A and B are shown apart, each in its own frame.
Chain A
Amino acid sequence: WESFLPSRVLVQPVQLICLYAPAYHLILEGILILWIIRLLFSKTYKLQERSDLTPKEKEELIEEWQPEPLVPPVPKDHPALNYNIVSGPPTHIITVNGKECINFASFNFLGLLDNEKVKSAAQASLKKYGVGTCGPRGFYGTFDVHLELEERLAKFMRTEEAIIYSYGFATIASAIPAYSKRGDIVFVDEAACFAIQKGLQASRSNIKLFKHNDMADLERLLKEQETEDQKNPRKARVTRRFIVVEGLYMNTGDVCPLPELIKLKYKYKVRIFLEESLSFGVLGEHGRGITEHFGINIDDIDLISANMENSLASIGGFCCGRSFIIDHQRLSGQGYCFSASLPPLLAAAAIEALNIMEDNPDIFQTLRAKCERIHELLQGISGLKVVGESFSPALHLQLEESCGSRENDVKSLKRVVDYCMNSGIALTQARYLEKEEKCLPPPSIRVVVTVEQTEQELDKAASLLKEAAQSVLN
């Protein structure tokens, strides 16, 4: 077996080469091999990124460096610094800064904040479970009330499954990053609320904004994306696409054109995430939201997210949809896995509120009638224009003509609000973080309609606003 010795195997071909190759060839190859060996063993020279400072120079730099103060000082008269103090429950009659007013500012659409049945259900839960849950859902924080609430919500919305979060803001802000990752594309309306914007920021996806409720603009963006896809089909096959819209927009008070969106969904193969915080418990014959309002099959929407802090007068939020989609959030929704679960008394309050919603479907009609009434009454106020659909319970009143700068607008609106508060109607300005919003809405007064307001109160509010606008803006 001597012929199998490695030296034999190596030596023979080399001998052959030396015999048959021309001399210059061998010399060139030899030089090349030596050069490679040299490069392999020589030290790599890094570019001098850091100048070599002596320790003394470093000390001096450290001495000299002055950071900014942790927070810049806030002027004492900043409009957002001094909160209104509400003494007592924020119900229909509310005591703000010591004065009793009629509440036109809390999102208590169905008046369930003060409902005795809801309170007694919460009391029973408090006696059984105490207040806090002392743990996240994964670690002994899942109570039977949570499971019951999830089942009831899924049944009410007629979907397969629902998942509960302990904070309304965190619901959509955790749901979006669970599905949309870096490299995915999300088409979102310009007027989307801040929670959606934070969810999109956390997801690190490509965000494409389309003009508010403008389906032509959205279709243009979708077409552009399609042409992009054709250039790179392999990448397109793994890039997920989503459209995020709200049922009833908090910032503008109008609805999204859901039937057209469904058509676009199937044409361009995009998934739809619907945020229904304001429309849950408001729109639709039984309060099931915008899908019932437009008569659309709920399975066509991939994910519906809503918070329970408006119509259900509790705390927290939920997402509902098919099990295929919702189950994923149980392991990858950050606000679900890494946060304590909803206190059981709030879950019990939400269940009782759902019961009331199911037993009295005529409150939705009553609410809609009141919204339409106030919408009509508020038309024609000189200096203020009404922004929002006629059936939307959360309207905005914006200045018809701006006073020049946003600061001055805010000041004028504040004078209108103060006038109304002094005369017994509690209103508030819509608050935004001016530097953080992508598309900052103009300053406005928020008017909220609830089922508990009587017709006289609606009339009073409208006439008071007319007076205030007259005296302040003219």
Chain B
Amino acid sequence: MLVAVLTYVGYGVLTLFGYLRDFMRQWKIEKCQNATEREEQKDFVPLYQDFENFYNRNLYMRIRDSWNRPICSVPGAKVDMMERVSHDYNWTFTYTGRVIKDIINMGSYNYLGFAQKAGTCQEAAAKVLSQYGAGVCSTRQEMGNLDKHEELEKLVARFLGVESAMAYGMGFATNSMNIPALVGKGCLILSDELNHASLVLGARLSGATIRIFKHNNMQSLEKLLKDAIVHGQPRTRRPWKKILILVEGIYSMEGSIVRLPEVIALKKKYKSYLYLDEAHSIGALGPTGRGVVEYFGLSPEDVDVMMGTFTKSFGAAGGYIGGKKELIDYLRTYSHSAVYATSLSPPVVEQIITSMKCIMGEDGTNVGKARVQQLAENTRYFRRRLKEMGFIIYGNEDSPVVPLMLYMPAKIGAFGREMLKRNIGVVVVGFPATPIIESRARFCLSAAHTKEMLDTALKEINEVGDLLQLKYSRHRLVPLLDRPFDETTYEETED
């Protein structure tokens, strides 16, 4: 309670100062640092509303150095960062030329540690690069469908256990270009509260009606499904053509895992379709890294559209969609990406193929399996230790995304900077990616983190936690989340 009050007070003070500074800037008492409109275009309608940028100018600018940190090495477990300083309170940055070496990287999405600059994946990619070149210069349907793409798609289908799959050049674009191809006007989309921007954009571009259910809350979803089928479309009362449920495997800001068995039961009962976005969970969950479907022991045939990205666990770029053959045939013909967007770059495709074979064990080694197990161990150890220390952690026990609550705006900047001083790189997020009073620091664990690295990190987090008074949890050992609705944890029983 006290924390909530103090958070609001913090934001209040910042806003007041913001108004004061804006006032001083307007009256030229303080120098205006942002770029301004051209002289010749001063009488045009202003491009940005003043208020829109209020948050940007006054709150974001103060702690801007926690984001967009430039690195100059492979984004593995340890990373080198270019040092930058600001002499005018973050309005401009200059690079000192020095490089801060060996920062423990807890921010990159490197779940299975495939971000490497040497090894089988990199060698294979180098060979393909010298043979094929870097670009493709054409779309899939015209002249850009290489034999490598066909190989990749067959492999992805085998990996997921589905009939067929299709790969795209960008994970974000996979959602925003394929959801409009699947649903249109007259269809209903039920989307989780905390879905990613790409899902929201795809749903909006499709033209279907969108209804939102509370995060991971099955009663809310069931109520919406019932209402939709019984009452039909608003005003015309015609029945809906299709209902599509959009959920994610692991939610990147919460660390929670979707309640897949219940969602599938609901989907079957109400005859709707399920679109599962496994951007963070593919490769990171499940005993062999096949994602959230394997984690719950379900069959991939129950999920109508399995979507995922190659950026996180495979150390490459791009996205895929897997499902039945009719679905993929339809997407090959009507997906926006197949017709208008360039296909994947060949060395990237090779990286995906090699890393996927490694995870499946088809390259003859145990490396893939070892990595998946290492990630699971790291996750459990890290989460347990943080809870013992007394921090508030969101999310499911097994998810490698660990959000640590900060709440107060001042601590966002402080946490980021203190951790960097101690050579640990963390990601801090505030408004607008999270609700305004729930700012957090997010750790992404990796199979490449050794126990020593985790111990160092935990020691430093402990120190900074004491320094900044971040240990909000009132209970030790038994984790209690500070939210009234406890949807975000899902107690999984071993079957």
Residues of A within 8 A of B (CB): 50, 53, 58, 61-62, 65-74, 78, 80-81, 83-91, 94, 96, 103, 105-108, 113-114, 118-119, 122-123, 126-135, 137-144, 146-147, 166-170, 173, 179, 193-195, 198, 201-202, 236-241, 266, 269, 271, 299, 307, 309-310, 312-315, 322-325, 327-328, 330-331, 334-335, 337-340, 342-343, 345-346, 349, 426, 428-433, 436, 446
| 0/1 string, B109-129, CB within 8 A of A gives 1 | 110001111100110011001
Query: A327 to chain B: which residues have CB within 8 Å?
Result: 35
A/B interface sample: 22 pairs, CB < 8 A: A62-B270, A67-B271, A74-B333, A90-B143, A118-B134, A122-B134, A129-B73, A129-B117, A132-B75, A132-B317, A134-B315, A135-B75, A140-B105, A144-B82, A169-B177, A310-B137, A312-B135, A314-B135, A324-B34, A324-B36, A338-B196, A430-B142
Q: Are A72 and B330 in contact (CB under 8 A)?
A: yes
| 0/1 string, B160-177, CB within 8 A of A gives 1 | 000000000111110011
Query: B272 to chain A: which residues have CB within 8 Å?
Result: 67
Known contacts: A106-B138, A107-B138, A432-B339. The answer to whether A81 contacts B273 by CB under 8 A is no
8 A-B pairs with least C-beta separation: A167-B170, A71-B330, A339-B172, A324-B35, A349-B134, A83-B145, A169-B341, A105-B143
Q: Are B141 and A431 in contact (CB under 8 A)?
A: yes
Query: A114 to chain B: which residues have CB within 8 Å?
Result: 133
Q: Are A144 and B351 in contact (CB under 8 A)?
A: no
B209 in the interface (beta carbon within 8 A): no
Query: A299 to chain B: which residues have CB within 8 Å?
Result: 38
Known contacts: A90-B146, A271-B44, A338-B196. The answer to whether A309 contacts B136 by CB under 8 A is yes
Instruction: Please pick, from B73, B130, B169, B338, the residue contacting A128 in the complex, using a CB distance under 8 A.
Output: B73
Which of B72, B110, B137, B329 gathers most chain A CB within 10 Å?
Answer: B137
Q: Are B230 and A315 in contact (CB under 8 A)?
A: no
A194 to B114, CA, bound (A): 35
B438 in the interface (beta carbon within 8 A): no
Q: Are A86 and B146 in contact (CB under 8 A)?
A: yes
Known contacts: A147-B70, A334-B201. The answer to whether A119 contacts B142 by CB under 8 A is no
B231 in the interface (beta carbon within 8 A): yes
B327 in the interface (beta carbon within 8 A): yes
Q: Are B330 and A74 in contact (CB under 8 A)?
A: yes
Q: Are B145 and A134 in contact (CB under 8 A)?
A: no
A71 to B324, CA, bound (A): 10
Q: Are B145 and A144 in contact (CB under 8 A)?
A: no
Q: Are A130 and B326 in contact (CB under 8 A)?
A: no
Known contacts: A106-B143, A324-B36. The answer to whether A126 contacts B326 by CB under 8 A is no
Q: Are A345 and B36 in contact (CB under 8 A)?
A: no
Query: A141 to chain B: which residues have CB within 8 Å?
Result: 75, 108
Q: In angstroms, how far is the closest chain A Cβ from the Cβ of B61?
A: 11
Q: Are B121 and A345 in contact (CB under 8 A)?
A: no
B488 in the interface (beta carbon within 8 A): no
B45 in the interface (beta carbon within 8 A): yes
Q: Are B48 and A328 in contact (CB under 8 A)?
A: yes
Query: B48 to chain A: which residues have CB within 8 Å?
Result: 328
Query: A103 to chain B: which residues have CB within 8 Å?
Result: 143
Instruction: Please pick, from B108, B133, B339, the residue contacting A91 in the complex, using a CB distance under 8 A.
Output: B133
| 0/1 string, B195-212, CB within 8 A of A gives 1 | 011100100110000000
Query: A241 to chain B: which residues have CB within 8 Å?
Result: 45
Query: B360 to chain A: which residues have CB within 8 Å?
Result: none
A426 to B137, CA, bound (A): 14
A126 to B350, CA, bound (A): 13
Q: Are B137 and A107 in contact (CB under 8 A)?
A: yes
Interface residues of B in 191-248 (CB under 8 A from A): 196-198, 201, 204-205, 226, 229-231, 239-243
Query: A71 to chain B: which residues have CB within 8 Å?
Result: 182, 326-327, 330-331
Q: Are B242 and A106 in contact (CB under 8 A)?
A: no
Instruction: Please pick, from B45, B134, B138, the residue contacting A345 in the complex, using a CB distance under 8 A.
Output: B134
Instruction: Please pick, from A90, A106, A130, A322, the residue contacting B315 in the complex, using a CB distance under 8 A.
Output: A130
Given contact pairs A169-B337, A323-B35, enumerate 16 new A-B contacts (beta carbons under 8 Å). Answer: A65-B271, A105-B138, A106-B143, A123-B130, A126-B117, A131-B348, A132-B114, A134-B315, A135-B107, A140-B75, A142-B70, A143-B72, A169-B341, A266-B40, A343-B316, A428-B138
Known contacts: A85-B145, A168-B341, A328-B48. The answer to whether A314 contacts B134 by CB under 8 A is yes
Q: Are B182 and A132 in contact (CB under 8 A)?
A: no
Closest to A436 in B: B336
Query: A169 to chain B: which residues have CB within 8 Å?
Result: 170, 173, 177, 336-337, 340-342
Closest to A314 in B: B135
Q: Are A345 and B147 in contact (CB under 8 A)?
A: no
Known contacts: A50-B231, A142-B69, A193-B340. The answer to whether A67 contacts B242 by CB under 8 A is yes
A315 to B142, CA, bound (A): 17
Query: B118 to chain A: which residues have CB within 8 Å?
Result: 127
Which of A66, A96, A135, A271 gathers most chain B CB within 10 Å?
Answer: A135
| 0/1 string, B16-29, CB within 8 A of A gives 1 | 00000000000000
Query: B114 to chain A: which residues have CB within 8 Å?
Result: 132
A433 to B330, CA, bound (A): 12
Query: A72 to chain B: which residues have CB within 8 Å?
Result: 330
Query: A85 to chain B: which residues have CB within 8 Å?
Result: 145-147, 150
A169 to B169, CA, bound (A): 10
Closest to A120 in B: B130
| 0/1 string, B57-77, CB within 8 A of A gives 1 | 000100000011111111110
Query: A194 to chain B: which residues have CB within 8 Å?
Result: 336, 339-340
Q: Are A324 and B37 in contact (CB under 8 A)?
A: yes
Q: In angstroms, how far is the closest chain B Cβ from the Cβ of A46?
A: 15
Instruction: Please pick, from B109, B136, B230, the residue contacting A135 in the complex, using a CB distance under 8 A.
Output: B109
Instruction: Please pick, from A66, A135, A240, the residue contacting B47 in the complex, using a CB distance under 8 A.
Output: A240
Query: A146 to chain B: which residues have CB within 8 Å?
Result: 70
Instruction: Please pick, from A83, A140, A202, A346, the residue contacting B427 in the complex, using a CB distance under 8 A.
Output: A140
Q: Are A131 and B172 in contact (CB under 8 A)?
A: no
Known contacts: A96-B143, A135-B108, A138-B67. The answer to whether A313 contacts B347 by CB under 8 A is no
A428 to B196, CA, bound (A): 36
Q: Are A433 and B133 in contact (CB under 8 A)?
A: no
Known contacts: A68-B242, A343-B345. The answer to whether A134 contacts B138 by CB under 8 A is no
A107 to B446, CA, bound (A): 39
A66 to B114, CA, bound (A): 45
Q: Are B315 and A132 in contact (CB under 8 A)?
A: yes
B449 in the interface (beta carbon within 8 A): no
Q: In angstroms, how far is the closest chain A Cβ from the Cβ of B105?
A: 7
Query: A91 to chain B: which residues have CB within 8 Å?
Result: 133
B43 in the interface (beta carbon within 8 A): yes
Q: In angstroms, how far is the closest chain A Cβ from the Cβ of B267?
A: 11
B15 in the interface (beta carbon within 8 A): no
Query: B226 to chain A: which residues have CB within 8 Å?
Result: 58, 62
Q: Are B342 and A168 in contact (CB under 8 A)?
A: yes
Query: A240 to chain B: which residues have CB within 8 Å?
Result: 45-47
Query: B479 to chain A: which residues have CB within 8 Å?
Result: none
Interface residues of B in 348-367 (CB under 8 A from A): 348, 351
Closest to B235 in A: A49
Closest to B36 in A: A324
Q: In angstroms, how far is the closest chain B Cβ from the Cβ of A318?
A: 14
Q: Are B137 and A113 in contact (CB under 8 A)?
A: yes
Closest to B74 in A: A130
B132 in the interface (beta carbon within 8 A): yes
Closest to A349 in B: B134
